[in-house]
A and B are shown apart, each in its own frame.
Chain A
């Protein structure tokens, strides 16, 4: 599996990662070698194997009573936000 520079750009776009133009060839090379490496999996016979859903066999998702247990302390959480105003997160204009 060999990725072209255009493939890398497409993947980076999907992942919302800005990659500098001069770094694209290095990513193409490294990602290609990683995909080539994991392609070994093709050699494993998995025709009758179930995909693993959870590391622990037979474990089920626990349930709890549907009652409120926590309050959201918005002001405190927003102290880490790059830009807020009146309790709202600010981002560039989305709708003209």
Chain B
């Protein structure tokens, strides 16, 4: 029953020599073998290297050495470069790409002693909210395999929810950690922009991209965040600020915590049952002595349209590097250089990635730049201003993570706008660069609901503590989908 234990419990068991890293790694590899064919949550499973790493961890533990996460198995989203390991980003374009170096996040977690079980499936280049844009096929939601796990970190989320690993790294450009965490009933945190290094993460929208972690509990997220966060001079937007001891801070009471609930989050578009579950969760905080007040984000309605100018613009620029020359897919028999570029990219990218590249190309093109891109950077200022104003009155903001529960596979693939609106409560947080979390807050018709907690800049500690306090009162986060319990 090792898979039912949290990362924190497993860390204690390893230290007390109740279990070895090799036993733990074998237990999760066995679960992956059993359940992954149903979920399609992995792009690569690294059985042999995982066992080698686990044995090395066991030696370090026996010698009384090792890092803070020594011997603990984890999974990386396939957007993180892993040295000597295929890194596909969910795309045909990078199907054959073996990274020559480690991302900073990978390097830090390796140094902390983690054992890498494999690389998680994801929406292609992290563009999607359902994991259906992956070149490797959709990931299924373990609560109902006819439904999506959310995206773009759908593989990471499904892996954690089905207990195929106790933690999985993820990235969040417009909700890609929080929305899938909500849809599968996991805990996910997207830190402040600049808190975690972006070095070695395949870039999508550089002013929005941020890495975080999906786990069973807030305590587990705190353990991993403590290792992931911190300055890295290889990412010029990484902020040089000390990393607090998130684990030590978890005990902080929520008594007197000022919670702001944006009235715009409960307007039309939100499923009534999801709204009720989220209000119940906020009610738990009230009982614990927090004060709850309504706040307003008057420019909230601008967040999705602003996001769908800024993100595609940056994507069109970032993805220009895939030229079929230095790495990635190349077409056969190009007649000239332009043909080489056009066909390699045309064949290597899927439909959603092409849509975003073309949207970005259009909004940045001569004559349209002011009307779209410059305008969106101005509305982005307005969106941030709303949050700054709210944080003058409250310590954290709470609301729904997503407007509904997990939807059916194929339900929203025909209409990009419907799909984009699934991140309506998430996009603004990225545009403002703020940290956000999603924690399990109940079920509607058997499907998980997420409570979103938005913090002030670099206030991850307070968010994690608030999430942890809630998880001391509730057991939503320990529920496991029926078919994955044993």
Contacts and interface: CB of A to CB of B under 8 A. Distances in A.
B349 interface: yes
B346 A19 contact: yes
B306 to A, nearest CB: 7
A24 to B, nearest CB: 11
Contacts of B415: 33
Chain B contact residues: over half helix, strand or loop, or mixed?
helix
Contact of A38 (B320, B372, B431): B372
A31 B355 contact: yes
B335 A92 contact: yes
Contacts of A92: 334-337, 339-340
A31 B417 contact: no
B180 to A, nearest CB: 22
Given A17-B342, A17-B345, A56 B433 contact: yes
B98 A79 contact: yes
Nearest to B339: A92
Most chain B CB atoms below 10 A, which of A14, A19, A52, A64: A52
Given A27-B354, A55-B433, A34 B193 contact: no
Contacts of B358: 8, 11-12, 15, 17, 27, 31
A50 B233 contact: no
Given A41-B309, A52-B378, A62-B236, A17 B349 contact: yes
A75 to B, nearest CB: 10
A11 B361 contact: yes
A51 interface: yes
B256 interface: no
Given A15-B357, A31-B362, A64 B342 contact: no
B94 to A, nearest CB: 9
Nearest to A48: B378
A35 B335 contact: no
Contacts, number: 170
B377 interface: yes
B337 A16 contact: no
Chain A contact residues: over half helix, strand or loop, or mixed?
loop
B334 A41 contact: no
A61 interface: yes
A42 B380 CA distance: 13
A52 B416 contact: no
Interface in A47-94: 49-56, 59, 61-62, 64, 73, 76-77, 79-83, 89, 91-94
B269 to A, nearest CB: 14
A38 B362 contact: no
Contacts of A39: 305
B427 to A, nearest CB: 12
Nearest to B343: A18
Contacts of B270: none
Contact of B337 (A37, A42, A94): A94
A37 B233 contact: no
B326 interface: yes
A56 B239 contact: yes
Contacts of B342: 13, 16-18
Interface of B: 96-98, 100, 192-194, 207, 233, 236-237, 239-240, 299, 301-302, 304-306, 308-309, 316, 320, 323-328, 330, 334-343, 345-347, 349, 351, 354-355, 357-359, 361-363, 365, 371-372, 374-382, 384, 415-417, 420, 431-433, 457
5 contacts: A35-B359, A38-B306, A59-B194, A79-B98, A82-B324
Interface of A: 8, 11-20, 23, 27, 30-31, 33-35, 37-42, 44, 46, 49-56, 59, 61-62, 64, 73, 76-77, 79-83, 89, 91-94
Given A17-B358, A44-B299, 13 more contacts: A15-B357, A16-B320, A18-B346, A33-B415, A33-B417, A34-B355, A38-B376, A41-B302, A55-B194, A64-B233, A79-B100, A82-B330, A89-B325
- Ranked nearest first, the 8 interchain pairs of A and B with the lowest CB-CB distance are A55-B433, A18-B346, A51-B377, A80-B327, A82-B330, A46-B378, A18-B342, A15-B361
